[in-house]
Structure 1
Amino acid sequence: MRGDTRTDRTELRAEPRPPAGRAGFRQAIGHEWIKFTSVRSTLWTAVAAGTVTALGAVFVALSESLQPDDTVLGGSLTLAVVGQMLAAVFGVLVVSGEYASGTIRTTLTACPRRGTVVAAKTTLVASVLYAVGLISCTAAYLLGDALLPSGTYAQGEPLPALFGAAASFAVSGLLGLAIGLLVRHSAGAVTAAVAVLLLPSLLGPLFGDFQGWVAGVSPTAALEKVIQTSDAGAEVVGSLGAGASLLLVAGYTVGVLLVAGTAFRLRDVH
């Protein structure tokens, strides 16, 4: 009996413990996708960003509101700026919604590595919004081309402009994500994100000769240059080209996202 007891104890001591489970990047992406498709606020915000952009082309064509110097591309994508703002709101909600509901604790329990969580959210936001932007902007251009009077307006250059417009949606969403990580409160973060997009253009005229420098740093200015709207004159939104303007916005968005990611790793979740 004693020998059997010692054997049982030895077997119990030798029995391997189950490994402590830690979700890796692939699992974190899966979790983020499930949350995106199951939370109504984020799902419908992404849908709204695409819908308003595409339907804007129909509205512009039926209202006959384009100016003679407008292009089919720029006119069709007039409401892409609204879609861009909704993209920024989407980025905010991806993180602030978890703080509001308290599920951020569950997320960090499943994946304690906060850098992985930020990387997963960044990948989801960029991927979803690039797809939404590309599909909706392409649909808007095709609708505008079909509905606007043939030969009345210059066509514009849809390629690579449509890819650039999609990239501007993704960049705006990442900027919203960074602001959401820093502010953590949905209403405050949404207000801050919309302000970042709109204030440079609104305040630009107050700076006189420097209007183009001030307004030109906004994500909306980069989008207007990309889609070649008649409002994107150098005196209004600066003399940087479309590609350079988009890279400028992407550059400072990466910087803000790095700061936000660092704050997320250092701060408590409350």
Structure 2
Amino acid sequence: MSTLTAPPPGFREALAFEWTKFASLRSTRWTTAAVGLVTMAGAVFVGLSGSLQADDTVLGGSLTLSVVSLMISGVVGALTICGEYASGTVTSTFAAVPRRGRVLATKAVLLAGLLFGLSLASCTVAYLLGSAILEDGRYARGEPMPAVLGIAGLFAVVGVLGLAIGVLVRHSAGAVTTVIAVMLLPSLFGPLFGGAQRWIAGATPTAALEKLTQTSDASPDAVGSLGAWPSLALVAAYTVVLLALAVRRLRRRDA
């Protein structure tokens, strides 16, 4: 008597499965929402407090807290997989979708799509809020397009970066700490490397964000001499490398 074996779920079915898990977890829902809320709240705070520097732009000032939101995006990516390891549901995930590379791919696509859409909307609203609150004509406007698209792309990339780190580390606390370290430590310890500071600090996602937002803090000495878009491409490149390492580890180790 022959036994019929159901084919493994396709990409669309696996993506729907990942969305159901993502939306059902309170931690990921609220953390993702914080990505947009913090960005918009920062625009209101800067506008009402009058803390914008004279040489800054409306775009840069309105997106002051987008640095914090960018870190939260990385944390969302890490929690997406680490939460499953902590609860043990990752075993069920691999049972439902045996192709582990497909599991990681669907998680990456889901995160990238959500974070791109959310950050594009929140950064646009933040810029509009800043433009409405800040005194007209006192500050340079900046060039919001296509910069906002690049910023949204950076948020998506950092979410996938957090996912890759989560797969490699597997523990929520360790993965979150690593994500924050990637964001902050190169800038903090860059001066210890002398002339190499601009290259070390310039390779971080926060440096790419400062260049894209056209903030006055984005000086070559602090964030490197690469342009905004090459910096974004560099962050995307090593994210792809880490994601490939994550796929390899996922296939070689037990759940």
Distance in 2 of aligned mates of 1:146 and 1:206: 41
Q: Which residue of 1 is the match for residue 253 of structure 2?
A: 267
Q: Distance in 2 between matches of 1:170 and 1:191?
A: 19
Residue-by-residue CA offset, 1:195-234 (whole Å, 9 max, x unaligned): 0011111111222222211100000000100110100011
Cross-structure match for 1:20 = 6
**Residue of 234, 252, 263 corresponding to 2:220:** 234
**Matches of 2:195 and 2:223, distance apart in 1:** 11
Match of 2:17 in 1: 31
Q: CA deviation at 1:17?
A: 3.9
Where do residues 202-221 of structure 1 align in structure 2 (5 Å cutoff)? Answer: 202-221=188-207
- Give 1:21 shift: 4.2
Deviations along 1:35-89, whole A, 9 cap, x unmatched? 1111011111110011001110000111111111000000000000000000000
Give the secondary structure class of the aligned counterpart of 1:78.
Answer: coil
- Structure 2 match to 1:7: none
Q: Which SS does the other structure have where 2:240 is aligned?
A: helix
TM-score under structure 1 length normalisation: 0.93
Q: What's the offset of the Cα at 1:268?
A: 0.9
| Equivalent residues in 2 for 1:96-107, closer than 5 Å | 96-107=82-93
Shift of 1:248: 0.4
Q: Does 1:79 align with 2:69?
A: no
The residue identity in structure 2 corresponding to 1:244 is: P
TM-score normalised by structure 2 residue count: 0.98
Q: Tell me the CA shift for residue 194 of structure 1.
A: 0.6
How far apart in 1 are the matches of 2:185 and 2:136? 36
How many equivalent residue pairs? 255
User: C-alpha distance in 2, partners of 1:71/1:20?
Assistant: 57
Separation (CA, whole Å) in 1 of partners of 2:102 and 2:10: 7
How many percent identity over aligned positions?
A: 60
Match of 1:110 in 2: 96
Secondary structure at the residue paired with 1:231? Answer: coil
Residue 240 (structure 2) pairs with residue 254 (structure 1)? yes
State the structure with more CA Rg: 1
1:70-149 matches, within 5 Å, as 70-149=56-135
Tell me the equivalent position of 1:187. Answer: 173
The Cα RMSD (Å) is: 1.0
Q: Residue in 2 aligned with 1:165?
A: 151
Alignment partner, residue 8 of structure 1: none
Which deviates more, 18-27 or 34-43? 18-27
Give the structure 2 partner of residue 45 of structure 1. 31
1:37 is aligned with what amino acid? Answer: A
Q: Read off the aligned partner of 1:107 and give its amino acid letter.
A: T
Alpha-carbon distance between aligned partners in 1 of 2:185 and 2:7, rounded to the nearest angstrom:
46
Gaps of 5+ in 1: 1-12
